[in-house]
Amino acid sequence: MPVVFGIVLASNSEPLFHMFGFLVCVGSTAGRALKSVVQGILLSSEGEKLHSMNLLLYMAPMAAMILLPFTLYIEGNVFAITVEKARTDWFMVFLLVGNATVAYLVNLTNFLVTKHTSALTLQVLGNAKAAVAAVVSVLIFKNPVTAMGMAGFAVTVMGVVLYSEAKKRSKATAH
């Protein structure tokens, strides 16, 4: 609860806050949480136990089929521009292959973390990452932040630390 409360507190005090953006963010977080729970079940339950590589093999084409039409609609002729740039600049090909490789590794790591910890741990880490990214953006890009926003980041970090401590204690009592 402190992790989620901290993120909500920081978001609500954002100088450029927009309700629609906030609701989309909450919806995407809920979707990510649902995905993490399902992948946790698929990776660890005895009846459905999948290997991380197999889960990636099943999920990647589905994600591509869902996202590709939206990408082509929103980005317009991005495919033609990318192909043209790749023909004239081989560094673009390197960037595309590098991007695909990093995306593959991120997804594989995501599945392995879920398999060896839990979906909840993955979500706590994701929210901690969001808070760190926001703080880094304030430090590097000098984005404006309010005292309430700083308090929200502090509550989020405190929630992550409390979760980590609770996890350690539950492992200590289990052994």
* pTM (2 d.p.): 0.67
Rg from Cα positions in the chain: 19
Q: Which uninterrupted H or E stretch holds 144?
A: none
Average pLDDT over all residues of the chain: 84
Contact (CB, 8 A) for 138 and 145: yes
DSSP state for residue 18 in the 8-state scheme? -
- Cα distance between residue 148 and residue 9, in whole Å: 7
Q: How would you classify residue 97: left for phi > 0, otherwise alpha for psi between -120 and 50, otherwise beta?
A: alpha
Tens-place pLDDT, residues 67-117: 989 988 999 888 889 889 999 999 999 999 999 999 999 989 888 888 888
Q: Indicate the pLDDT class of residue 65, thresholds 50, 70 and 90.
A: very high
Q: Which residue's entry shows tokens 């629609």?
A: 20
**Six token digits for residue 46:** 């005895």
Most confident of the following: 10-19, 33-42, 94-103: 94-103
* pLDDT tens digit sequence for 125-149: 887 887 788 788 888 988 777 788 7
Amino acid identity at 78: V
pLDDT score recorded for residue 168? 81
CB-based contact 122:114 (threshold 8 Å): yes
DSSP annotation of 46 reads T
Find the distance separating the first CA and the last CA of the chain, reported in whole Å: 26
| pLDDT band per the 50, 70, 90 thresholds, residue 13 | low
Q: Which residue has the higher pLDDT, 17 or 13?
A: 17
